[in-house]
Amino acid sequence: MTQKPTIEDIARLAEVSRGTVSRVLNNHPAVSDDTRARVLDVIERLNYSPNYSARHMRTETSNMVGFETDEVSTTPYAVDIIRGAQETLRQNGKVLLVISAGYDFETTQSSLEVLIERRVEGIIYATMFHREVELPPQMSRLPTVLANCYAKDRNLPSVVPDEFSGGYNAACALLEKGHKRIAFINLNRAYGTPIAPTPAAEGRLRGFLRAHEDFGVHFDDALLIYTDQRPQTNHAITLELMRRSQPPTAIFCGNDRTAVGCYNGLMSLGLRIPDDVAVVGFDNQVDICEAMYPRLTSVQLPHYAMGRWAAEYLLAAHNGASPPVQHQIACVLVPRQSI
**When comparing pLDDT for 222 and 135, which is higher?**
222
Structural domains for the chain: 7-57 (1.10.260.40), 65-154+303-328 (3.40.50.2300), 163-300 (3.40.50.2300)
pLDDT at 339 over 70: yes
The pLDDT of residue 295 is 98
Model pLDDT, residue 111: 82
Rounded distance between C-alpha atoms, residue 41 and residue 83, angstroms: 38
> Which residues, other chains included, contact 28 with Cβ-Cβ below 8 Å and sequence gap of 6+?
none
| Segment 200-214, tens digit of pLDDT | 999 999 999 999 999
Closest CA to 282 of 200, 160, 213: 200
Is 157:118 a contact under the CB 8 Å cutoff?
Answer: no
Is the confidence at residue 44, as pLDDT, over 70?
yes
Peptide bond before residue 157 is cis, with ω within 30 degrees of 0: no
Greater confidence (140 vs 31) lies with 31
**Residue 52 clears pLDDT 90, i.e. is over it:** no
What is the rounded CA–CA span in Å between residue 77 and residue 129?
Answer: 12
b/e for 101-112, b at 16 or more Cβ within 10 A?
Answer: beeeeeebeebb
- Torsion sign, CA atoms 310, 112, 119, 19: positive
Confidence of residue 266 (pLDDT cuts 50, 70, 90): very high
User: What's this model's pTM, rounded to 2 decimal places?
Assistant: 0.79
pLDDT tens for 268-326 read 999 999 999 999 999 999 999 999 999 999 999 999 999 999 999 999 865 555 678 99
* CB atoms inside a 10 Å sphere around CB 262: 30
Q: Identify whether the C-beta of residue 243 lies closer than 8 Å to the C-beta of residue 174.
A: no
Q: Residue 2 pLDDT more than 60? A: no
| Closest residue by Cα to residue 258 from 248, 249, 266 | 266
Most confident of 38-47, 65-74, 232-241: 232-241
50-59 average pLDDT score = 44
